[in-house]
Chains A and B, each alone.
Chain A
Amino acid sequence: MDNKNIILIERQDEERANLKKKLTEDSFEVVDFDNSMSAIQWVMENGNPKLFILEELSSPLDGWKTLDYLRTELGVKTPVLITIETETEIIVKKSQGFLTKPYSDDTLVKIKEFLHQIESIKETDELPKPYSLDYLDELSDGSLEFITESLALFNDSISEKLTQLQEALDQQQFTEIRTIAHSIKPSFQMLLNDHGKELCQSMEFATKPEDLKTLVQELKLEYNRIKKQIAIDFPTAHI
């Protein structure tokens, strides 16, 4: 039988009830907890769900420690979505993604997309890399020097622009946000990272501060995903 269980750990009653309702109405079966230990206990007694949604600031174990416990102590390989509230540098691993609050209809869409993605890559058992060098490779006829310099430029310039983006957001300078998003969009496109490109594009047209805040946060995470992968792929290049 298809496992439709989702374990949801969320301290805030209203948020928990809201997301549970959305998921249940979409035919998922949700087992919800306001603390991480009860959830771990449930898994030990009942087995693995289809998906975990772990709040980053859950207690007594926070989301990351809960994830670590599930993976290392219980050997659980179930996909996990972490609901983040801080700009923690995410280490993206297999079967792992993130959500942001407040939970909304978009959250439901993201959860379903994540599950779809996980299911579609089961055959290779690998999450797709967040970037590709195909474009830079074609452009430079495979020049490693050009590629590594371009990746270093990506790391440095986007890091600087994300700082500027956050400052512009804090000061509600929406024109500046659009200008920065426009400026950095090609960098994500050159690494064939569609998600980063789409986030920049959305920023160019978003008008609500709360939407921009979420987009900026997501772009930072996407940048961190790429940066981590570059560090893995080019360990000696000092990028």
Chain B
Amino acid sequence: MKKKILVIEDNPMVVKSLEFKLLKEGYDVSIAIDGRSAMEQLEANNFDLILTDLMLPFVSGSQLIEHIKKNHPNIPIIVLSTATQEDIITDAFNMGVDDFITKPFSPNELALRVKRSIGSFKNQFSHK
């Protein structure tokens, strides 16, 4: 069965690129363009991975991560960041995110990190 990835990002070019690459890699992709829509999708579906920006309309990145960690602690999170967000990325790691990818992402790096994040969580739970 295809792994399901939720992409939370408001830049349409980034969304299109992520969707294109992830579909090509064989994943099932859902898109949320703001935090509110992301929360709705999280309630209605099961995801294997979340890729999220940290500056989103309506809900801040930290609020969103807090919500995911509280209500969906088993879903790994990869943060989509920009090169100028070191402090925000550090805060995100402190809140429990698993990895980050800098926008615009390297296609190969995206594939590797997504695979690794999904794989590491699968292994973590299979060892328990």
Contact = CB atoms under 8 A, between A and B. Distances in A.
Interface of A: 135-136, 138-140, 143, 146, 149-150, 153-154, 157, 179, 182-187, 189-190, 201, 204-205
Contact of B21 (A139, A182, A184, A190): A139
Nearest to B15: A153
A101 B104 CA distance: 33
A189 B104 contact: yes
B120 interface: no
A186 B104 contact: yes
Task: Determine the main DSSP class of A at the interface with B.
Answer: helix
Contacts of B104: 135, 186, 189-190
A113 to B, nearest CB: 23
Interface residues of B, number: 16
Nearest to B85: A182
Interface of B: 10-14, 16-17, 20-21, 55, 57, 82, 84, 103-104, 107
A135 B21 CA distance: 13
A182 B82 contact: yes
Contacts of B12: 153, 157
Contact of B11 (A136, A138, A157): A157
Contact of B20 (A135, A140, A185, A186): A140
B14 to A, nearest CB: 5
Contact of B13 (A143, A154, A182, A204): A154
29 contacts: A138-B107, A139-B21, A146-B16, A150-B13, A150-B16, A150-B17, A153-B12, A153-B13, A153-B16, A157-B12, A179-B55, A182-B55, A182-B82, A183-B55, A184-B11, A186-B11, A186-B14, A186-B82, A186-B103, A186-B104, A187-B11, A187-B14, A189-B103, A189-B104, A190-B14, A190-B17, A201-B84, A204-B84, A205-B84
